[in-house]
Amino acid sequence: MLVLVLDSSTPAVTAALAEITADAVVPRVERSRVDARAHGELLAPQVAEVLAEVGIRPAALAAVVAGVGPGPFTGLRVGLVTAASMGQVLGIPTYAVGSLDALGHAATRPGPDAAPEAGPVLVATDARRREVYWAVYDPAGGRLVGPAVDVPAVVAERAREQGVRVAVGEGARRYADVLGLPLRGGLDHPPAYALAELAAERIRAGAPGDRLTPLYLRRPDAVAATGRKPVLR
């Protein structure tokens, strides 16, 4: 089964195709570009590109997997609206995966290029406003704490309480001096293969799709006015 994987929870705008077999998840093609200001402009063309590279039409997709955050309001909304719209139009299920969970999964899974971490892992992505979205994962990829949004100093204290030994994510890299943790490179943004792997069991089982509810953790930067201001005084 071919599934479309989307994530726009970070500055990396990602569209990918993965093949779900009975016992494996096989990445087929991926497009990912880092641009915090162009989620809306980049995602739809990337979807078209990955479909064209494999030579299939959207009707051949079995499901859509989407990273649901946490992430900034505007960028995250682009990916989830795209995923939900495609699921509805094509009549296929959509599956939600936490974007921090994907990073935690990637950091703790064995792979050809890196062994899984031996202790708890901090995942931190950039939340702007000098804050990070974060969570802590055990060596098996299970979430121990979070997700939450805090200033790096608070995250550093919580990470020490959990015995964290290494950190991943763009937020961890940006605030490495405050967090005081070794940084594992190559995992700044949620990998498409990890999103697919976390949804694979549900896809194989034909589980009902999820409602793609965004995980914002805080109010958007722009909010509607709560009252009218007088024109004349």
Number of domains, the chain: 2
Residue 159 lies in a domain: yes
Residue 218 lies in a domain: no
Question: Could you list the pLDDT tens digit for every one of the 233 residues in the chain?
Answer: 999 999 999 999 999 999 999 999 999 999 999 998 899 999 999 999 999 999 999 999 999 999 999 999 999 999 999 999 999 999 999 999 999 999 999 999 865 445 566 689 999 999 999 999 999 999 989 999 999 999 999 999 999 999 999 999 999 999 999 999 999 988 999 999 999 999 999 999 999 999 999 999 975 554 444 555 454 54
Q: What is the pLDDT of residue 109?
A: 83
Gap between the Cα atoms of 47 and 104, Å rounded: 25
Is there a single domain that holds both residue 86 and residue 140?
no
Contact 125, 112 (CB under 8 A): no
Side chain identity at residue 55, one-letter code: G
Residue 119's contacts (CB-CB under 8 Å, 6 or more residues apart) are: 139, 163, 164, 165, 166
Contact 65, 5 (CB under 8 A): yes
Print the domain residue range for 174.
100-179
Q: What is the pLDDT of residue 111?
A: 58
Side chain identity at residue 67, one-letter code: G
Long-range contacts of 111-119 (CB under 8 A, 24+ apart): 114/184, 114/186, 117/165, 117/166, 117/184, 118/165, 119/163, 119/164, 119/165, 119/166
Is there a single domain that holds both residue 67 and residue 170?
no
Query: In which order are the strands placed within the sheet that holds 121-128?
Result: 143-150, 131-137, 121-128, 166-168
Residue 212 lies in a domain: no
Is there a single domain that holds both residue 108 and residue 93?
no
Gap between the Cα atoms of 229 and 233, Å rounded: 10
Is there a single domain that holds both residue 118 and residue 70?
no
Give the residue among 82, 19, 15 at the shortest CA–CA distance from 52.
Answer: 15
Long-range contacts of 218-226 (CB under 8 A, 24+ apart): 218/127, 218/149, 220/73, 220/74, 221/72, 221/73
Query: How many residues in the chain?
Result: 233
Is there a single domain that holds both residue 7 and residue 83?
yes
Give the residue among 131, 107, 102, 95 at the shortest CA–CA distance from 20.
Answer: 95
Whether pTM > 0.85 for this model: the answer is yes
Is there a single domain that holds both residue 16 and residue 61?
yes
Q: What is the pLDDT of residue 114?
A: 53
- Give me 216's structure tokens: 């914002």
Is there a single domain that holds both residue 9 and residue 60?
yes
Gap between the Cα atoms of 10 and 17, Å rounded: 19
* Category of 129 on φ-ψ map: left (φ > 0), alpha (ψ -120 to 50) or beta: left
Give the residue among 105, 82, 34, 91 at the shortest CA–CA distance from 212.
Answer: 82
- Give me 115's structure tokens: 């062994």
Q: What is the pLDDT of residue 223?
A: 47
